[in-house]
């Protein structure tokens, strides 16, 4: 069987195609097993406990021609634009450079989609879109202002959004998706070039990535919890990871002497700390942490109980890798990983539980943009994401999409 796939050697958005064998576009891993994913049942933070009844994406079929919104999708999937940067929605002008995002449930059966703004010099922040139970956009507003380069972040089990600043001495802000409470600066989570954060819902420890070529992987452990078992984000310890042997294997955690980096950057404070080349998205599910590194196009899995780190995807192993420019990461209801591309072919690529890489969608005509903020609606039926700079390459022209289909 043969499929038609866009060649990486021509400009995106052109009509030229190159035929390649089927097994070149759905590659199995050559070396690494997909540790931990067989136990996946979906997004433990946002999806219902019946998530294991959801279909998988391992047989979605080939991407079709671009639709009216410039999105290539498999048959049975559709796209709509829910917000454009600069457009007025209920008095809120949707922010430029939309980046990391997540969804949260509403009491009436609707939901919220929050999105960071990766604008520099104190002009960043976070916006929230409010949908009713039928998916109609009914409100929009800001939940964080006057911060810088809010890149990614992560949702918490207690219903807040942690927004990360990707600047030197950047910090983490805890935001209320519902817009009722003011954002809170969480200094204990450290001052460094933050990218993303994920919460282990068993131990309530937080894992954080750093977007530097010589960045580190961090872990926050609260000293106390509240009556609901949620951690105190103002009183805890921050640690940095060391891979004991080589590039994979057991991790050892070291106490960070100065999380606020008053004199020395956090990544340089512990000589044993290991380097991760451009830490990007990070995601937790059922005892494992998954994160990406853009500098070497890898996806890692950390088995928390066994303190074991594995590389589960490495683009360098393939002549024509389906997935490059790895960035934000999430999972669907069936436990497959979805990785957004910053560059590459501007795709969201599925990593199935059997280790295949399958394009779920592709943007055409957005050559100077990147795909950001993939997140499923709480019931798993809709996927949200953004083109950070739209079709013009300008941060003022970001576009936020919703995908429906055979999820």
Taking residue 92's Cβ as centre, other Cβ atoms within 10 Å add up to 16
Whole-number pLDDT of residue 4:
29
Note the Cα 168 to chain centre separation in Å: 21
Burial of 186: CB neighbours in 10 Å, binned 0-12, 13-18, 19+: buried
- Going by pLDDT thresholds of 50, 70 and 90, the confidence category of residue 55 is confident
Number of domains within the chain: 1
**pLDDT (average), residues 201-226:** 97
**pLDDT (average), residues 239-262:** 96
- Going by pLDDT thresholds of 50, 70 and 90, the confidence category of residue 297 is very high
Whole-number pLDDT of residue 53:
63
Please state, rounded to an integer, the average pLDDT across all residues of the chain.
88
Beta bridge partners of 130: 112, 139
pLDDT in tens, 351-366: 998 899 999 999 999 9
Whole-number pLDDT of residue 335:
84
Whole-number pLDDT of residue 179:
96
pLDDT at 20 over 90: no
The CATH number covering residue 185 comes to 2.120.10.30
pLDDT at 10 over 50: no
**pLDDT (average), residues 131-147:** 98
More confident residue, 402 or 53: 402
pLDDT at 251 over 80: yes
343-374 CB burial, b ≥16 within 10 A, e <16: bbbbbbbbbbbebbbbbbbbbbebeebbbbbb
Whole-number pLDDT of residue 285:
87
Domain that holds residue 102: 2-404
Taking residue 321's Cβ as centre, other Cβ atoms within 10 Å add up to 18
**pLDDT (average), residues 119-147:** 98
**pLDDT (average), residues 84-104:** 98
């Amino acid at each position: 069987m043969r499929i038609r796939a866009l060649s990486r050697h021509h400009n995106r958005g052109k009509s030229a195609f190159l035929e390649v064998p089927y097994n070149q576009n759905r590659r199995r891993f050559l070396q690494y097993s997909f540790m931990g994913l067989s136990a996946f049942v979906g997004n433990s933070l946002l999806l219902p406990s019946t998530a294991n009844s959801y279909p998988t994406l391992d047989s979605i079929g080939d991407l079709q021609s671009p639709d009216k919104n410039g999105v290539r999708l498999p048959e049975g999937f559709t796209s709509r634009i829910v917000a454009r940067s600069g457009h007025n929605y209920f008095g809120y002008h949707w922010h430029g450079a939309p980046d990391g995002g997540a969804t949260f449930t509403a009491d009436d059966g609707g939901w919220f989609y929050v999105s960071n703004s990766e604008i520099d010099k104190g002009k960043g922040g976070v916006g929230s879109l409010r949908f009713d139970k039928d998916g109609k956009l009914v409100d929009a507003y800001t939940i964080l202002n006057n911060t810088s380069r809010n890149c990614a972040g992560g949702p918490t089990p207690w219903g807040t959004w942690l927004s990360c600043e990707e600047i030197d001495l950047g910090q983490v802000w805890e935001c209320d998706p519902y817009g009722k409470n003011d954002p809170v600066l969480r200094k204990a989570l450290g001052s460094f070039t933050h990218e993303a954060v994920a919460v282990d819902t068993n131990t309530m420890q937080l894992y954080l990535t750093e977007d530097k070529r010589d960045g580190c992987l961090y872990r926050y452990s609260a000293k106390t919890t509240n009556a609901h078992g949620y951690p105190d984000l103002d009183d805890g310890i921050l640690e940095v990871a060391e891979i004991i042997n080589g590039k994979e294997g057991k991790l050892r955690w070291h106490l960070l002497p100065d999380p606020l980096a008053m004199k020395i950057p956090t990544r340089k404070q512990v000589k044993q700390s290991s380097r991760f080349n451009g830490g990007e998205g990070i995601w937790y599910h059922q005892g494992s942490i998954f994160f990406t590194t853009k500098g070497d196009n890898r996806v890692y899995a950390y088995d928390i109980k066994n303190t074991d780190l594995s590389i589960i995807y490495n683009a360098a192993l393939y002549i024509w890798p389906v997935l490059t420019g790895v960035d934000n990461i999430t999972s669907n209801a069936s436990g497959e990983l979805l990785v957004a591309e910053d560059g590459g072919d501007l795709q969201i690529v599925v990593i199935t539980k059997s280790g295949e890489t399958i394009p779920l969608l592709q943007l055409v005509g957005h050559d100077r943009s990147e795909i950001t903020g993939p997140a499923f609606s709480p019931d798993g039926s809709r996927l949200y994401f953004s083109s950070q700079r739209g079709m013009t390459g300008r941060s003022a022209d970001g576009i936020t999409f919703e995908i429906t289909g055979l999820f």
